[in-house]
Structures are given as C-alpha cells and as structure tokens.
Structure 1
Amino acid sequence: MIARPIQVVLRRIAGGCAAGMLLTLLSYRLHFNLSAATSVHLFLVVVIALRWGLFEASVVSILSVACLDYFFTQPLFHFYITDSHDWIALLVFEATALIVSSLSDRVGHHARELERRQVQQQKLYELSQHILLLNREAAVDQQLVDLLRSSLGVKGIALWKAHEMHQWQSGDCDISDDEIRSACLLETNEDDSGTGISKRVLRLGTRPIGSLFLCEHSLDPASIDAASSLAAVAIERARSFSIEANAVAAKQSEQLRSAILDGLAHAFKSPLTTIRASSSGLLAMNTLSGTEEKLVALIDRHAGHLSDLANHLLLTAKLDGGDLKVKREQVDLAQLIERTITGSSHELDGHSIDFQMSSGHNAIFGDGKLLQMALFQVLDNAAKYGRPNSQVAIAIQEEEAELVIRIKNEGSFIPDDEKEKVFQRFYRCSGSVKTISGTGIGLSVVRRIAEAHSGRTWVESDPVNGTTFAIALPRMAKEKA
C-alpha cells in the first residue's frame, strides 16, 4: 500500500529530471542565454507542479538550478559562479519556481477536491432520488442499507432503528448490536481514520431515531452527515407510510364494524320494543302471582338494558358518521346531574352519592339528552368498577372557560398507558376484562358526545385515591342556529 505510491513518485522525479536534462541540452545547442534557459526550465517546473504536484516540481527545480549553473554561468562546465548577478538570477529562479509550483499545486488540489465533491454530491443526489422510489410493499429498511452501500460506494453499512430495536446490514460491516445501539443511546458521532468506520446518530429534529455505521469508505464528514440525514428522512417516511396504511386499514375495519353494529342495533330495536311493551303491559295488568311478577319484571329490566345498549350502538354509529345533530338549548348541569342520579338508582345500588356543585352559574348550551346519556354512562362505570358499597363523588368545578364535571369512585385503578385507550371503542382495561362484564362502548360514546359539544374528556387514576373521570364543557358556548 505504501511502496506503490513511493515508486510512482520516484518514476515521476526521474521523468522530470530527464526532461530537465533534455531541455538543458537543447537550450545549450541552440545557444540560449541564461535568461532564456531559465524561462524554459520555469515552464517545465510549472507543468510538473500542475501535473504531478509540489514535491516532484521542487526536486526538478533544484536539478534545473544545477543545470543552469553548469551550462549557462561563468565559468562554464563548473558548479561555480563568479558573477553575483548570476547568483541572484538563479536564486530568483528557484524562489519563483517554488512559489509558482506551490500555487499550481494548490490550484490542482482545489480542482481535484472540487471534482471529488461534485462526484459525492452527484451520489447524494442520486441517493435521494432512489430513496423516493423505494418499494413500499417490501422491507424498506433492508432496501435502504443496500441502496446506501451501492450509492455511496462503501464496503459495508449497518443501520439500527430505535423504534423497532433492530439492526440491518449490507456488505462487510462487522458491527455488534450492542455497539450500534450504544452509538444511538450515547449519541456518538465520530470518524475513526484508523479503522475507516464512521458513526452517525440519525435524528428527526432533535430526537434520536437510530444510528448509522459506514465501514471502509472515502467520504468526507459533510457527505456522511448528508447521507445520514437522508437515511433519517427515509426511515421516517417509511414509518409514516406504515402508520398511514394502518390508519386506512383501521378506518375501513371500523367503518365495516360500525355498519354491522348499526344494522344489528336496528334489527334488535323492533323485537326489544315488542318484548318490553309486552312485559310492561303484563306488569300494568297486575294479575300476575308473586313469582310470575318477579320473572316478568326481570324480563322487563333486561329488555330495557338491551334497548339502552342498542341505543348506544346507534348513537356511536351516528357520531362516527358525522350525522349526529346536537340540539342545543340552555342546560343547568346541576339539575341534569340530579336527574341522572335519580335515573341511575338501580345501577348505583349500594353506592352512596356525594354531589358537590359550584355556587356560580352552572348553565351551558348543549343537548340535554346526549349529556345525560354521557353522565349516565360514567356513573354506571363508577359504580360497576368501584369497591362494593363505596361512595361515588360528583363535583362541578368552574374554570375560566369551562365547567368541569368530575365523577370519582374508590377502589379502581387505570394504568397510565391505558388512560387514553379506555376511550377507544371496544377497549377494556386488562384488569377488568375477565372480572366485570361490559362491551367497551360506553366511554367512547362519552368522549364523542363531549367532542360534539366542543368539550374534552380525560381520566385521572392512582391505586390509593381511585379513579376520576372528567368531562369539560365550554361554559361560554352560545346557542347555534
């Protein structure tokens, strides 16, 4: 690796010296004076500097001084100078040759550097184009590392993605999972000239999303940084495509499920109405024996529960379809909560209620029936998931722009990672799926009703204090036409 460049330099010096000797003999034969011969040799030195470099030109310039002294200064054919003017001429020639050679070498180096950068920029441009054409149907990550290796002309590439905790490699790059993962976690960016390995942290803004290793390459740090940025963009673009595809699939699945549930709910409504009308009629006749009356009352109660469930399904389908009409009117939240508590006496069986209202104005503009349905659902959940015979606390709090209804029970707990999921339709907390019956529909309806009123919902929970569901409604909302 080292011997070959030395041999090339020695050949160049030998060729330059031979050319210098040849020009000296020609100049002598043509009876050039010292000034003319100096110009010829200076031209040779400049050509060598532009073609080969400063070192070769410097060696040839020293040989040229010796030739000029031997053939063109008095006494001739001696390495001795008697005239001081000749001394000055040769010294000026050598200084000029070195300066011009240095400048020529810089120009040549700059031109080569510019050409190299243009080549690297062209590679990066082609890389960006190919990234846009990656096949979204196949594994993007392996495509990316193969593309980086071929486009940048490196021996090996190793890529680690923080989101998936996985490494992809292409070519010869023996990097362990621990090493490439540590580079991301420690945010290590470095270029090791000894091993020829460059490490870069892939970022999306300021957030690390992975790390990239380049093995045995000739790229400058700026090009490596640019390639790393392109790799980060490609990773995030692929992730966005995946999220988009999953969202589309989920939306289609949700639409299909909503359509099925809507159809089932409508199909259940008619027979449930008939069953409930019949059971209510039998109870109203007051001709049943005690056992018969209890059985019919049980049928009536559960038929009512099924009817409410069907109403929930129909309401959810309307909310999803965007065709729910909110009939706004002035609603006193305190009175609405009291009516909901009275109507929930069966569901709250065994649970005492502590209702605290604010002393201010508790009225908003909203749909009383929808809001009562949301409050009923939260109260039902509070009683169902709370500790038996525990207290359910209800409070209305006045905020600057909202009225916040808080309903708190004792004994239940929702982990932090499930606090948002409980508002998704059909989702149920992992700790209650097998112990408490339910459909996972109610809280999704609560959130959609709140959002239909330009409000919001959230949950606060810890193992000691229990769980609080909050519904915030705009207190300054005006009636809409």
Structure 2
Amino acid sequence: MVSVGALTAVCRTLPVNQTTASLSYLLLVLVVASAWGLLAAISSSLVAAICLNFFFFPPVGTLTITDPQNWIALAAFLSTAVLASELSDRARKQAAEAVAQRREVERLYSLSRAVLLDPGQGSLGSTITSQIAETFNLRAVVLFDTFSRKTFLAGPEDIRLSMEEIELGLETGGLTEGTQAAAVKLGNKAVGILVVKGDLGTPALQAIANLIAISFEKAASEEVSSQARTARQSDELKSSILDALAHEFKTPLTSIKAASTSLLSRSLAPAHERELISIIDEEADRLTALVTEAIQISRIEAGKVKLNKAPTYLSDVVNSVLGQMKLRLEDRPVQVSLDPTLPAVLVDRDLIELAFRQLVDNALKYSQQGTSVSIQTSR
C-alpha cells in the first residue's frame, strides 16, 4: 500500500499522463508479486486501480468515470495486473521449489556418501539414523530393523515407539502431525521401517528408505565376504599345520620302516619275532600311506595340488587300493565286479586312488561289522 501511495505521489509531481501512470502501476504490481506473493499483488492492484481512477481519469478527484473508454482501460489494467501477478507468483514459487529440490538432492548426495563410504566401525543403524537427522535437520528419526528386531533413534526429540505404533505409522503414512513413515525394502522383502519427524518431502523420504536398504545389503555382503575370507584363511592355516605335521611324522616312520626292513632281512630271528617285526613293517607302511594321504588332502584344500595325468585303468586302481587295505578288509567279504572292456582314462593315479580309498574307508566306517563291501565298474 505504501509503495502505491509513493508511486502516486511521484506520478502527480512530475506530472505524467494516464498511459504512463498505468504502466508504472503495472510495473509496481509485478515487483510486489515477485517479492511478497499473489495476495499482496492483488491488493496492490486494487489500490492502484482506485488511485488511477481518482488521480488520473477525468473527472480527477472523484471515483466517477464518465468516459466509457476509461472504464475499459481501468478493467484492462486491473485484469492485466492480476494476471501478471499470478504468473509472477507462480514463477516465484517454481523457482523456490527448484531451489528446494536442488538442496534436497545435495543433501541426499551428502547422505549417500556418508553412509555408503562409512568404514563400518560402529553400529550401522545408529550411524544411518544420526546421519539422516544431521543432514536433513530433522527433530527425530526412528529406524526399526526387522532382522535384529532393534530400534535405532536419533535427533533432539525422543519419540520411543513400539513395533505396533511403527507398523501403524507405516499403514497410515504418519503417527502424529509432522511425522512420516516409509518401508525399507530389498526387492519385495521389507527389512525395516523408517519414521521421521520434521520437514521432509515424500520423495526424499522414500529415497532415504531406498538408501538404507542398499546400506543393509552392502553390510550383509561385506559380512558374507568377511566370513568367507576368515574361513579361507582358517582352511589355509589348517592345511599348513596338517602339511607340517604330516612331514614331521614321515621322519620317524621312515626310521621305523628302515629298522623293520633290516630286522626282517636277518634269517636267524625266531619265528615269533619275525611275525612281530612283520606287523611293525606293515603298520609302518600303513601309517606312511595315511600321512601321504593327509599331505595330499591338505594340498587339495589349499589349492596347491598339481595334477599328473596319465592313462590309467580303473581295474588297476581298484586292485591297488584293495591290496593297500587288505588288513582292514580281512573280516569283510569283498565283492568285486570289474568290466574288462573299460578303456584307460586320463587321470592322476595317486589322487584317484586317494579318492577311492576314502570311499572304501567310508564304507567300512558307516556299515555294520561283517557286512560285505561291493565294488563294481561299468560304463
């Protein structure tokens, strides 16, 4: 109002004609619309129309308009002023929305960097809620993790909620005035619920919920990778220890084998001593075979095995393993059916014998005493 009065005084002092005054009032209305909005601009338009009629349309000094053309000019001015005010106000609001959206995107980017690049030294839920509250200046943030059944809180206000209240907020879109809720989903599976209190748009809320879901998935993947890495390191350590122990066992076994072989070479030893020495010699061979198997298995588990493939007949493998295990098979009937037409296969004979010994050993361990063991080869 004051601006219209000031402009009227200036126009009366100069003085100016009706056209100049009308354009001046129209320019003023546009400035008011840009600065204070549509309502102030419409009020200014009405006051400007009255001033234009009173001070510039004859008869001057009255609100009476005698010339019909002045009525048309006044109506055109008022219509133009209101329409221009509405357009200017709309442009102002769109500019403000664009600024707000840009700030929201900047905040989302900042939040995504803070969350996704977090080293993960603390609790993921506590870190995320704190980052959300700080980045978007929210009064309260509540995150419920459906896996751990834990609730994480952040923000200056304390709004402790039960699971029933959180689920209600998810169904209704909010719990109290200024509070909103969104589901945190991985695909079609809900992994959490986010409740915020403060000035935050629905698109931004959903974007934050999606970011939380990605963070949960990232944390789960890192946990799986860490467990796999730990298991791999454990297997490597186990294989290294087993390999070292197996090599340590080989030295005394070699000595025992050498001593038993030397004693057996003496023909003057009594019969019962020769029998005992034979048992020592055979058991030394068996222990050596077990140690060799342990070394091979440890190398296979560690991925350090080197295959020495050569044409091998399965019948030779079966007969070799049965010969090595004859002491363990003494009280077991063994039924062997070998197809003589089978061709040679390209395999590592030591490893295939190791695998076959394991199969026979399992058959002996997990079957009743005295039952027969059946071995068959076929195409």
TM over 0.5: yes
Instruction: Extract unaligned runs of 5+ from structure 2.
Output: none
Counterpart residue identity of residue 93, structure 1 = F
Quote the residue 2:103 is aligned against: 119
Alignment CA distance shift 1:353-1:112 (3 Å)? farther
Counterpart residue identity of residue 174, structure 1 = R
2:347 to 343, 349, 366: 366
User: Does 145-154 or 45-54 show the bigger shift?
Assistant: 145-154
Once the two structures are superposed, the pairs formed by residues 265-280 of structure 1 within 5 Å of their partners are 265-275=246-256
Once the two structures are superposed, the pairs formed by residues 146-295 of structure 1 within 5 Å of their partners are 146-161=130-145, 164-171=148-155, 172-177=158-163, 191-192=173-174, 194-203=177-186, 206=187, 208=189, 210-275=191-256, 287-289=270-272
Alignment CA distance shift 1:213-1:23 (3 Å)? same
Shift of 1:179: 6.3
1:385 to 366, 371, 378: 366
CA contact (8 A) 2:239 2:299 kept: no
CA contact (8 A) 2:337 2:377 kept: yes
2:129 to 136, 142, 145: 145
Distance 1:162 1:346 in 2: 59
Shift of 1:350: 7.1
Q: Which has the larger radius of gyration?
A: 2
Distance 1:395 1:298 in 2: 31
Alignment CA distance shift 1:259-1:218 (3 Å)? same
Alignment TM-score, normalising by the size of structure 2: 0.78
Provide the alpha-carbon RMSD of the alignment: 4.0
What whole-Å deviation, never above 9, does each CA across 1:189-237 have from its counterpart, x for those lacking one?
985495521313243xx37473251411323333334333433443444
* Aligned pairs, number: 373
Distance 2:9 2:338 in 1: 114
1:326 to 307, 310, 316: 307
Quote the residue 2:115 is aligned against: 131
CA contact (8 A) 1:347 1:380 kept: no
CA contact (8 A) 2:185 2:191 kept: yes
Alignment CA distance shift 1:382-1:58 (3 Å)? farther
Distance 1:136 1:279 in 2: 62
Which secondary structure state, in structure 1, belongs to the residue aligned with residue 134 of structure 2?
Answer: helix
Distance 2:119 2:242 in 1: 37
Which secondary structure state, in structure 2, belongs to the residue aligned with residue 219 of structure 1?
Answer: coil
Distance 1:106 1:250 in 2: 63
CA contact (8 A) 1:348 1:380 kept: no
Alignment CA distance shift 1:311-1:26 (3 Å)? same
Distance 2:4 2:65 in 1: 20
Quote the residue 1:309 is aligned against: 290
Alignment CA distance shift 1:168-1:91 (3 Å)? same
Distance 1:77 1:354 in 2: 130
Alignment TM-score, normalising by the size of structure 1: 0.64
CA contact (8 A) 1:190 1:200 kept: no
Instruction: Extract unaligned runs of 5+ from structure 1.
Output: 1-16, 399-481
2:38 to 54, 62, 77: 54
Alignment CA distance shift 1:311-1:58 (3 Å)? same
Shift of 1:100: 1.1
